Amino acid sequence: MNKADLIVGLQWGDEGKGKIVDHMAQNVDVVCRFAGGHNAGHTIVVDGTTYALHLIPSGVLNPNAINIIGNGVVVSPENLINKELKQFSTLQGKLFISDKAHLLFPFHSLIDHAKEKMRKKAIGTTGKGIGPAYADKILRVGHRVGELKDPEKLTSKIISYFETNKEFFDVMEIETPKEEELLKDIKWYKENLECYITDTTQLVWKLLKEDKRVLLEGAQGTMLDIDHGTYPYVTSSNTVSAGACSGTGLNQKDIGFVTGIAKAYCTRVGNGPFPSEDFGVDGEKMAEVGREFGTTTGRKRRCGWFDAVAAKHACRLNGVDQVALMKIDVLDGFETIKVCVGYEFEGEVIDYVPYDLEDVKPVYKEFQGWDKVEGIREFDALPAEAKSYIKALEELIDTKIGVISTSPDRKDTIVR
């Protein structure tokens, strides 16, 4: 039986997962998302056309691939129908949504905004309702995609949920939905999504048994993982490899080759510690050249240097077999490139990720920059300084860099 290969983000998200999933999806039969929701924004550029995906897996541009939204995802029907599905004529027979995935309603987004306002220091969430939807799931008061088949029953459950939690909603000034309107919306969700809903666990088991090639697509990044990230400045799901099993119904023995995605520098959106953040002209230049603005919220991303300590930690956490090093072209023309190789912590230099990254200061090593790598498609054609940089990163993170990306375009990808 085939194993499912896996793609995960190694930093704070937006590493370029979409581009690599799309690149690899040209040779696979199935792409399956396992965690997160429409907080994710995966951008794919093919022959000059840009596609922005949030919930739909990045295999959708391979006309022959099946795309699965796994049970670990929180699904906003509103976003899926109104925004994403509209980019495609029809995906019937090409897209499947787990009946066990949890539903994310507009009121989850209202709770998200209200909670952010109440916090002393906001997390800087995407405001999409991700935390509240996962909270409902864990509290066992959430609703699953499978419940869309009975709109009347689901509507009455949601209304009664509002009634029993009236004080909670009153504090946040969130009104109970009007029953008639809610029912109308849920009927509309059913009408538009029913053809995609199925038991995706059985489906993916069947596909693997038929020796189909399956690629599991992670969202967010390791440093945003609810358990292993910079808590509480994280998202509300397990973004690491382990989440791929619980989020699909596969077990660890089903997982094959793991590719970890990392930028040649580092970015983060929202609040929370980011040891190698650069507040000077270099960080500004990365943001400008790398067009570091969020696909989902349009927010400016904070920029800084490659954090080899965090990346090595992420490779171990995820069982990474190879790293895809993205956006190396953004460093074109930098005279000197810094890499964070250690943290100053409680008076000493450490080479591991401690309990709280808030208290560390980066220790840098400097590398000589290069002229231009943009658009290069062969490893041998890279300037010597870029090759040395890649080699040094491989040693620092103790993992092979098997893929190098030199532009947003699918074709500008070096596979070693």
Q: Mind giving me the DSSP string for 268-303? A: E-SSS--TTB--SHHHHHHHHHTT-B-TTT-PBPEE
**Shortest gap between Cβ of 17 and ligand IMO (angstroms)?**
6
Distance CA 59, CA 214 (A): 10
**What span, in angstroms and rounded, lies between the C-alpha atoms of 225 and 240?**
7
Query: Does the footprint of ligand IMO cover residue 131 (CB under 6 A)?
Result: yes
**By C-alpha distance, which of 389, 334, 314, 404 is closest to 8?**
314
From ligand IMO, ligand GDP, Mg ion, none, interface partner of 130 (C-beta below 5 to 8 A by class): ligand IMO
**Does the footprint of ligand IMO cover residue 41 (CB under 6 A)?**
yes
Determine if 407 is a binding residue for ligand GDP (CB under 6 A): yes
Is 57 a binding residue for ligand IMO by CB under 6 A? The answer is no
Looking at residues 343 to 382 of the shown chain, list those that interact with ligand GDP (rule: CB under 6 A).
Answer: none
Query: Does residue number 57 form part of the binding site for Mg ion (CB under 5 A)?
Result: no
**Residue 289 identity (one-letter amino acid):** V
User: What gap in Å lies between CA 82 and CA 69, rounded to an integer?
Assistant: 17
**Stretch binding ligand IMO (CB under 6 A), from 127-135, 147-155, 205-213, 242-250:** 127-135
Residues marked active site are found at 14, 42
Query: Would you mind telling me the total number of residues written for the chain in this entry?
Result: 416
* Secondary element (H or E) of residue 243: helix 241-246
Residue among 30, 228, 329, 373 that touches ligand GDP (CB under 6 A) = 329
Q: Is 13 in the site for ligand IMO (CB under 6 A)?
A: yes
| By CB under 6 A, residue 314 contacts ligand IMO | no
Q: Which of 367, 373, 281 is nearest to 332 (CA)?
A: 373
> Residue 97 or 219: which CB sits closer to ligand IMO?
219
Shortest distance, CB of residue 4 to ligand GDP, whole angstroms?
Answer: 19
Partner whose binding site includes residue 45, from ligand GDP, ligand IMO, Mg ion, none (CB under 5 to 8 Å by kind) = ligand GDP
The DSSP bridge partners found for residue 239 are none
Q: Give the residue among 41, 65, 39, 40 at the shortest CA–CA distance from 51.
A: 41
The DSSP line for 150-212 is -HHHHHHHHHHHHHHTHHHHHHTT-PPPPHHHHHHHHHHHHHHHGGGEE-HHHHHHHHHHTT-
CA angle 239, 243, 246 (to 5 degrees): 155
Shorter beta-carbon distance to ligand IMO: residue 220 or 399: 220
The Cα 365–Cα 340 span in angstroms is 6
- In angstroms, the CA 278 to CA 87 distance is 37
41 is a contact residue toward Mg ion (CB under 5 A): yes
Shortest Cβ 379–ligand GDP spacing (Å): 14
Contact characters 241-280, ligand IMO, x per CB under 6 A: ----------------------------xx----------
Does residue 302 interact with ligand GDP by CB under 6 A? no
Among 43, 238, 248, 276, binds ligand GDP (CB under 6 A): 43
Residue 229 found at the interface with Mg ion (CB under 5 A): no
Site residue total, ligand IMO (CB under 6 A): 22
Contact footprint for Mg ion (CB under 5 A): 14, 41, 295
Contact footprint for ligand GDP (CB under 6 A): 9, 13-19, 41-43, 45, 290, 295, 326-327, 329-330, 405-408
